[in-house]
Amino acid sequence: MTRCFVKYNPAFLEVAQLVENFVVRQIDLEMIVRIISDNGINANQHVLVIGPRGSGKTTLVHRIATEITQHEELSICWYPLIFSEESYQVSSASEFWLEALFHLGEQTGDQKWKRTYDDLRKEKDDKKLCERALWQILDFADSEGKKILLIVENLNMLFRDLNSKDEAWNIRHTLINEPRLMLLATATSRFEGIDHLSNAMFEMFKIHELKPLDDNESNAIWELITGEKLPGEQIRPVRILTGGNPRLLSILAKFGAKRSFRQLLDDLIDLIDEHTDYFKSHLDAMAPIERKVYLAIAELWDISLAREIALVARIDVNKTSSLLNRLVSRGAVVVEEQGKRSKLYRVAEGIYNIYYLMRRRGKPADRVKAAVKFMVSLYGPSSAVNLLVDETSKMGTEQCREHFIAYDQIVKNVDDQELRERIVMSTPKSFLDSPFLGEIAGNYLAGGRQYESKNLNSIDVEIELKAISKILDNGYDLFKDQNYSQAIIVLDDLISVYKARTEFGIVVEVARAMFNKGITLGKLNRPEEEVQAYDDLIAMYRECPEFDIAVYVASALFNKGLPLSQLNRPEEEVQVYDDLVAMYRERSEVEIAVYIARALFSKGMALGELNRIEEEVVAYDNLIAMYRDRPEAEIVEPVAMALLSKGITLGKLNRPEEEMQVYDDLITMYRERTESEIAVHVASALFNRGLTLGKLNRTEEEVVAYDDLISMYRDRPEEEIVEAVAMALSSKGITLGKLNRPEEEMQVYDDLVALYGERTELDIVVEVARALFNKGITLGKLNRPEEEVVAYDDLISMYRDRPEAEIAVRVVRAILNKGFKLGELNRPEEELQVYDDLVAMYRERSEVEIAVYIARALFSKGMALGELNRTEEKVQVYDDLISMYRDRPEAEIVEPVAMALLSKGITLGKLNRTEEEVQVYDDLIAIYRDRSEVKVAVLVARALISKGITLGQLNRPEEEVQVYDDLVALYGERTEFDLAVEVSRAMFNKGIVLDNFERYQEAESVFTRVIEQKSDFVEAYFELLQLFLKIPGRENDAFTVVRKYVFQPNLVQKSIEDAIAMFVELAASGYAKEALDILVDSPSEQHLEPLVVALRLHTGQEVKSSVEILEVAKDVVKRIEERHKAMQSIDRGEVVSAAEVREG
């Protein structure tokens, strides 16, 4: 049978051809068919197939449709209704069902449905159209006695193009509630509609992700196209080149099979042109900043470090790492570990390297390089060389130029030294003797380490220079291809051959080679050898005054500082910078002056790291004095950096006025300069000036500084400048909040979001997220809770899918605050849902700054459930929190875990499950008793106190006392206020127990110690008073206790009721006169005038006072009399509650 292949759409295949061509993804087919088969009568599990373009989604869903129609049992129950690959006509729920009706007519061929479709298109009422179109679909299902399987591709695009979210909710409502309909959809990636809880399709689908094909599956595709499998491991580079993408594998197999190099070269452009739409769509789907990083990897070709990618992309390395993580998460880039810290990245589908190389670089040599990459991926280096050599034997020399270039490229890119030598040694001499063969390949002959002399003595210098230049260019090509070891070999050979020469041109090239050797050794992370390479260059040429040589010496001196810093030899680093300045400070050429300026700046930085701050400032001053009048951008930049760093350093020295003067100098000197690398330092100076003014509490001036920055640079697009503007807006908003100008504050946050809400760079997104969060906080302070929730929702919806911790932590905080606010609004069910959403979204994240908010959300959920009296659920939530984080050591996480344990114990006590309660307290104590943090220690102390109280309730007083003793032993020496309160409380409780068991002497000692340690513990005074009154002959001690209390007027003023209770106790016990004597003329008398009047009345004195005071005093007299009666009842054996003793 003749096989039929299509470019994009498998829908064009006949059924038999589709089945025959379906040679991979059998497991995916079986899994989804099983889901369809298992769907019940009353409900359906909808399925979303996710995979990048070309991964086989369309083929898979069409094969599923075929399987259903050909399967006896499934065909009885199901009717597959297949939409087009793009449903551009759909913008509403009504049009969705109308589109289904259109395809029903097309698929059945029944004119009835086509006429119905044409009739319904005339319906103007959207609601009626929706109902009528859906009814027709369901009518067909009923007439056939089958469920309808709706197969809809590119669901993400369809829902993106709907008129409103309500349309999506309308479709969801039908699919959820109508058992006659199941949706099998595809999408190129996860999208907000399925991942965001506020969107219609959230948690509606069973997600089925298509993984890249493995080697065996890739070879099955290859065999399908070419008729034979690739032998051995040859499929692996092909699979890497295509990323296991079925469509790319098909393209490659159809193109690469049975082609000569000449055909490959001639047809490669046609291949790229033919499939440009597909390649371009892959790139167009990326955000611009992501595409920039992706193309940087494509240009580098080989696996690369983040810093190398950042250099090519011209993006900050931290930002590049963040973008790489996003590309890796989406499968566009593959990461390979290299050691503990380094990661190497490559594009997942290597064919995009070829596409990019061909499209961006149109030169013939680049076309050859692309073809070589292609050939080596297909055949391996040895077979590719054999193909080239065989072809050249049948062609004229002039026709083989590109073959020799290709040979040179293959040899150059072979990392294995032995394999490279085998390839060269097995190449016919006639081929190697070609004048068109590149220098690199020729030099690998006989082991790859010998340069042929080429009769140097008989060739003039100009020809030699051309040869040297070509060698250096080849070395640079090796460097660009990251073949650093081979680049070193080339450079060493050149240096050894030419270093003794004295001709100026050759000397310059040798100096260049020596400098490049140092750079390359740095790439290999061999700092000792790198330093030596620079030393060799400096020693040879430091006395040469010629500019072309001096610039290499200056750059070598400057570059030498970096490896010395890496080797932690800071004194030598500083000396190197001094040597550079001393040697060349009189030189005015900009190329040399820039190294002097950088050396002075780097010297300042090195001195700062050595904590030699004053010398650091001097280094900056020297740089500024030398070059402040130079206009060249290359020199202005380090001057601006020096001014900025000097200002920062003066700030650290607490010299703010000088600091701001430096910033002012920088701003005045360079505010008119437009170069990005200069403008960013001016912006930083303006921002730092604002911060310093804020520290000096000059807030109005601080706001003006931020306004200057914003007005100058708000229209600049560069990331570093945008970041400074965003920070200025954010800080301005915060400062306006401190000035109690909340409306202006929020307007600033709104401006920031409006300006930069669409930017995706990490540092800018952080500021936008901060602005939205701060706006929510400010709205809360203004008691505008509904708007506060909206602000948090805006932040959450914008950034919930960003994985970076700096952004995720702000989303988490917004979700948590939203939960708190919903609780305040008495919307508990929504509050609980918010906490659940937070935990579901981030429970797998391990970063402490995120985990702490998950823990707090779980704790808050437990508290909310408690307020709803759902105590069993509350306990379960605390258990979830404890099980998730009890082994985490970080203090921020330990605290909510300890709080959960304590609250769980208290809750179990309320449920009268006292033994479990005590066990929970024991768990908390055992886990955290050795932690030193105050907040954790307080929770441990409270657990001990709660345990003691519970043991008392269980009538186990000896154990109760022991628990209190344990607490005192554990924390008695701690001086922190909160802990001291708990220690005093434990001692007090112990005293109560001892008192109850008439162990008065021990109780007295405990209460006395409590008062000594915490003189404001009012309850201890009262208990000690009662204790002395119970013991015959201790009345004077009772008077002493009360006297000590009233001589603390501030304490008495804060505890008036306790004061009245004490004197009522004394008077009721028969010591009213003594009580009056203690109170009169004491420092507290002025705070207790009604009590003084009451005691005078009780002792029979005549008193004149205001009506109001007399009324209060009479109430106190009544309390004394009632308390006296109560005491008499106790003496007679009658029971009086403890509450009655201190009632008042």
Contact 943/921 with Cβ under 8 angstroms? Answer: yes
- From 161, 188, 211, the end of a domain falls on 211
Query: How open is the CA angle 899-904-905, to the nearest 5 degrees?
Result: 100
Residue 691, SS3 per DSSP: helix
Is 270 exposed, middle or buried, given 0-12, 13-18 or 19+ CB atoms closer than 10 A? exposed
Range(s) of the domain holding residue 1068: 1054-1144
Nearest to 151 by CA among 54, 71, 46: 46
Is residue 1069 within a helix (H) or strand (E), and if so which, with residue range?
A: none
Q: What is the pLDDT of residues 246-278, one digit of tens each?
A: 877 777 776 655 455 555 555 555 555 555 566
Which DSSP state fits 190?
-
Buried residues in 177-193 as b, exposed as e (16+ CB within 10 A): ebeebbbbbbbbebbbb
What local confidence, expressed as pLDDT, does residue 264 receive?
58
Average pLDDT value for residue range 60-83 = 88
Q: Is residue 1067 part of a domain?
A: yes
**Count of beta carbons in the 10 Å neighbourhood of residue 740:** 8
Map 374-394 to HEC letters: HHHHHHCHHHHHHHHHHHHCC
Choice among 11-25, 320-334, 426-440, 1098-1112 with the minimum mean pLDDT: 426-440
Mean pLDDT of 4-26: 69
Q: Rounded mean pLDDT of the chain?
A: 83
What is the percent of the chain where pLDDT is above 90?
40
Is residue 46 assigned to a domain? yes
**Under 8 Å between Cβ of 33 and 39:** no
Give the per-residue pLDDT at 340: 43
Top-confidence residue, 797 or 204: 797
Report the alpha-carbon distance of residue 567 to residue 170 in Å, rounded.
66
- Mean pLDDT over 735-744 rounds to 92
For 169, the 3-state DSSP assignment is helix
List the beta strands (DSSP E) in 51-177: 78-82, 147-152
Average pLDDT over residues 968-995: 91
What CA–CA distances, in Å, run from 105 to 12, 112, 150, 301? 18, 8, 14, 50
- Residues in contact with 182: Cβ distance below 8 Å, sequence separation at least 6, in sequence order: 36, 39, 44, 45, 46, 47, 78, 147, 148, 149, 150, 175
Mean pLDDT within 532-537: 93
Whether 941 contacts 979, CB under 8 Å = yes
Phi, psi of 344 (to 5 degrees): -110, 140
d(CA 789, CA 834): 11
User: Tokens at residue 929, please?
Assistant: 């008793």
Q: What's the pLDDT at 446?
A: 37
Calpha distance 680→666 (Å, rounded): 11
| Last residue of one domain, picked from the residues 148, 179, 211 | 211
Count other Cβ atoms within 10 Å, centred on residue 104. Answer: 21
Of the listed ranges 241-250, 270-279, 628-637, 924-933, the one predicted with least confidence: 270-279
CA distance 737 to 410: 65
Q: Rounded to an integer, what distance in angstroms lies between the CA atom of residue 842 and that of residue 839? A: 5
Instruction: Give the span between the Cα atoms of 1024 and 1011, in whole angstroms.
Output: 10
Tens of pLDDT, residues 753-809: 999 988 888 889 999 999 999 999 999 999 999 999 999 999 999 998 888 888 999
Written as one letter, the residue type at 630 is R
- 135 within domain boundaries: yes
Residue 664 maps to a domain: no
Is residue 242 included in any domain, yes or no?
no
Of 100-114, 268-282, 538-552, least confident by mean pLDDT is 268-282
| Token reading at 756 | 């930069």
Q: Which amino acid is at 771?
A: A
Non-local (6+) Cβ contacts of 190 within 8 A are: 50, 207
Nearest residue to 808 via CA among 854, 749, 774: 854
Number of domains in the chain: 2
pLDDT (mean) for 593-613: 91
User: Which among 1125, 1123, 1116, 1128 is positioned nearest to 1140, based on CA atoms?
Assistant: 1123
Average pLDDT, integer, range 559-563: 90
* Residues in the chain, overall count: 1144
- Which pLDDT band, with edges at 50, 70 and 90, does 457 fall under? very low
Q: Tell me: the pLDDT tens digits for 1082-1112?
A: 999 899 999 999 899 988 888 888 889 899 9
The CA-based angle 692-695-700, given to 5 degrees, is 80
Element (H, E) at 706: helix 699-713
Torsional class of 25: left (φ above 0), alpha (ψ -120 to 50), beta (otherwise): left
**Nearest Cα residue to 894 out of 863, 942, 837, 934:** 934
- 271 burial via Cβ count (<10 Å: 0-12, 13-18, 19+): buried
From CA 364, how far away is CA 754, in angstroms rounded? 47
| pTM, entire model | 0.56
Q: DSSP letter at 1086?
A: G
454 pLDDT higher than 50: no
In a domain, 1076, yes or no: yes
Residue whose C-alpha is closest to residue 24's, from 180, 214, 275: 214
The span from the CA of 67 to the CA of 479, in Å, is 54
> Once rounded to an integer, what is the mean pLDDT over residues 236-245?
73
CATH number at 32 reads 3.40.50.300
* H-helix or E-strand spanning residue 773: helix 762-781
Task: Point out the domain boundary residue: 158, 182, 211.
Answer: 211
Distance CA 934, CA 43 (A): 55
250 vs 68, residue with greater confidence: 68
How far, in Å, CA of 1089 to CA of 348, rounded? 86
CA distance 138 to 145: 10
Query: For the residues 105-116, what does the mean pLDDT come to?
Result: 87
Comparing C-alpha atoms, which of 218, 350, 351 is closest to residue 272?
A: 351
DSSP notation for 809-849: HHHHHHHHHHHHHHHHTT-HHHHHHHHHHHHHHHTT---HH
Alpha helices in 227-258 (DSSP H): 235-242, 246-256
Flag whether 85 is in a domain.
Answer: yes
Confidence at residue 1127, expressed as pLDDT on a 0 to 100 scale: 82
Higher pLDDT residue, 341 or 492?
492
The rounded distance, in Å, linking the Cα atoms of 703 and 80 is: 64
Contacts from 450-456 at CB under 8 Å and sequence distance 24+? 450/493, 451/493, 451/494, 451/497
Amino acid at 698: R
Name the token pair of 163.
């008129």
Structural domain contains residue 431:
no
Sign of the C-alpha dihedral computed for residues 1015, 1020, 1022 and 1025 taken in this order: negative
- Return d(Cα 1135, Cα 640) in angstroms, integer: 86
